Chain A
Amino acid sequence: MIAVLKQKKIAALAILFALAFPLLIPNNYYLHMMTLSFIWMIAVYGLNLLAGYTGYLSLAHAGFFAIGAYTLAILTVKAGLNFWLAFFLSCVISSFIGFLVGLVALRTKEHFFAIYTLCVGYIIYLVIDKWDNLTGGVRGFIGIPSPANIGPISFQTPVSQYYLVLFFLLLVVFVMYRIVYSLTGRTYIAIRNSEELALTIGISTMKDKLVSFVLSIFFTSLAGALYASFIRFLGPDIGYISVMFDLLIFLLVGGIGTMSGPVVGTLLMTSISQQLQFLQDYRMLIFGPILTLLVIFYPRGVVGGVIHWKTKRTENNRDSRVGKISSHSSNEKQVKEG
């Protein structure tokens, strides 16, 4: 119980900090970076639901991020749809394409699934790159509107856009939390643990896998649509493999299959990238080995490492005192996080 309370406190503090950020640091550059990392976080949460909880590592998510972004662009600019309708539709359309892909992809497992979705992601990229008439091809897509007013609230200023994105991030985190801590979440974890075992207790795994796949894509394409309306320019690069690997690195560093991993990993990696920008592409020479070590020694990332360390500490405390003070709750937490 103590651990859970603490967890809630940390979450509350983080939210407070995020709410106060534009007041604490009234600097447009930082505000822009923060808004952008919130968008990435949403995408990473999407990936986390599928890869972290259900255990299916998709490499098509950058593609679906791009589909979300481009659909918003096309629906608003070319079709002249109302912004929020287009916003909603772009998530739905992307999810529907995801549903069709999932029907086939989820018949494969593990590395076959990863390779299959990698191909899907690449095909999405190629379509965007080559379909000049629709997407603008390599020239890119310009003139995407920023979010339309909702009643009296307008989203023209950086600060208001920051809060809009923050709102969506919190919404996604809340929905993720509800899913993960419900029977549905436990069903996903059961599938990750052993699909055969899940079948033998009566879970119709195909259905659950498909739902988690589509939900996961919904979140990621939501991030894509936000990205389009925030940056207002799109190039085919946003669907490229390198974006996929960014998402994956954020997730792995933060902690795959943990609730706070996407936030921690994205913040950490985007700020480190910023610091090392002068190294340009040579950054990868540093990131590569660090990532390899991290995956070997901390398979559940920074968050997983901290949980592990805390569990150990409470257990040591328990041994030195008497009774069973909080070992149960820390176990419990590890499971829930896991």
Chain B
Amino acid sequence: MLELRNVSVQYGSFTAVQNVNIHVHEGEIVVLLGSNGAGKSTVFRTISGLNKLSKGEIVFKGNRIDRYSPDRIVQLGIVQCAEGRKLFSRMTVYENLLMGAYIHRKEKEKIKQSLNHVYELFPILKEKRNDLAGALSGGQQQMLAIGRALMSRPKLLLLDEPSIGLAPLIVEQMFQIIKQINKEGTTILLAEQNAHAALHIAHKGYVFENGTIAVQGTSQELFANDNVHKAYIGT
């Protein structure tokens, strides 16, 4: 479904991502692991069209998308839920969700359905729908960020560290919800520090080190890999 071929990305003269190959099949959950600064977010931003690549190509459903503008990429069905709960803080929860459905703005019925679906996944959002997004707790903001991304009905959802800063119990819940979203037909590319939980729900993974892929394999393979285990899972 999505293929990165020999992708390199530079910030000025600094190469943040080098010769990366990633393959995501329809229906999969694929996880990108790696420590801080390894280049995960850069890959996400490049897929979304926010950063331009300096080498290589990105292919989505047979089309090269690496020259497309970000809004066009959203229209193709790739939506990113960026790191750090980026919300429209002065809008209400409800308005944030509506904005998420921007590309379907003419289809009222569709928006209603998506809204109900998001409220089912995250009942707290329904409860707080008239509150300002800026007034939510960190975990609720993360749910809203994901909910808003779902409102556009993505085919491929990019989740950048959805579990960061959440209480352990909520992290568990969050991964269950991600699994459910995937079951309902959305392919997911996930960046995570929380390797243990992520590998549990993922089909396969890539381990980033300094902007290149150090190890890759199915979740079982990565679990079994000693180096990966030591570096990212512990004991």
Contacts and interface: CB of A to CB of B under 8 A. Distances in A.
Nearest to B105: A183
A186 B131 CA distance: 16
A186 B92 CA distance: 11
Interface stretch (B79-87, B201-209, B210-218): B79-87
B74 to A, nearest CB: 3
A133 interface: no
A189 B92 contact: no
Given A200-B70, A202-B152, A186 B91 contact: yes
B89 A200 contact: no
Contact of B88 (A193, A204, A205, A331): A193
Given A201-B148, A202-B75, A335-B132, A189 B91 contact: yes
A331 B131 contact: yes
Nearest to A204: B71
Interface residues of B, number: 31
B90 A199 contact: no
B131 A201 contact: no
A194 B86 CA distance: 9
B100 interface: yes
B95 interface: yes
A248 interface: no
A202 B71 contact: yes
Most buried by B among A193, A201, A203, A334: A201
Given A328-B130, A335-B95, A203 B86 contact: no
B181 interface: no
Interface in A198-235: 199-205
Interface string A154-170: 00000000000000000
Contact of B48 (A186, A200, A338): A200
B90 A202 contact: no
A193 B89 contact: yes
A196 interface: yes
Interface residues of A, number: 22
B90 A189 contact: yes
A187 interface: yes
A338 B98 CA distance: 17
B99 interface: yes
Contacts of B116: none
B22 interface: no
Contact of B100 (A193, A196, A201): A201
Contact of B92 (A187, A199, A331): A331
A203 B71 CA distance: 6
A200 B130 contact: no
A68 to B, nearest CB: 32
Contact of A189 (B71, B88, B105): B88
Interface string B94-131: 01001110110100000000000000000000000011
Contacts of B69: 199, 204
Contacts of A202: 70-71, 74-75, 79, 102-103, 152
A183 B148 CA distance: 16
B88 to A, nearest CB: 5
Contacts of A331: 92, 130-132
Contacts of A199: 49-50, 69-71
Interface string B22-42: 000000000000000000000
Contacts of B86: 194, 196-197, 200
Interface string B46-61: 0011100000000000
A190 interface: yes
A199 B132 CA distance: 21
A205 B130 CA distance: 26
Contacts of B71: 199, 202-205
A11 to B, nearest CB: 22
A334 B75 CA distance: 31
Given A196-B50, A200-B48, A200-B80, A332 B99 contact: no
A193 to B, nearest CB: 5
A197 B96 CA distance: 11
Interface of B: 48-50, 69-72, 74-75, 79-80, 82, 86-92, 95, 98-100, 102-103, 105, 130-132, 148, 152
24 contacts: A186-B98, A187-B102, A190-B88, A193-B89, A194-B86, A197-B87, A199-B69, A200-B48, A200-B70, A201-B99, A202-B70, A202-B74, A202-B75, A202-B79, A202-B103, A203-B102, A204-B69, A204-B71, A328-B130, A331-B92, A331-B130, A331-B131, A332-B92, A335-B132
Given A202-B102, A331-B132, 14 more contacts: A193-B88, A193-B89, A196-B50, A199-B50, A200-B50, A200-B82, A201-B99, A201-B148, A202-B71, A202-B152, A204-B72, A332-B130, A335-B91, A335-B95
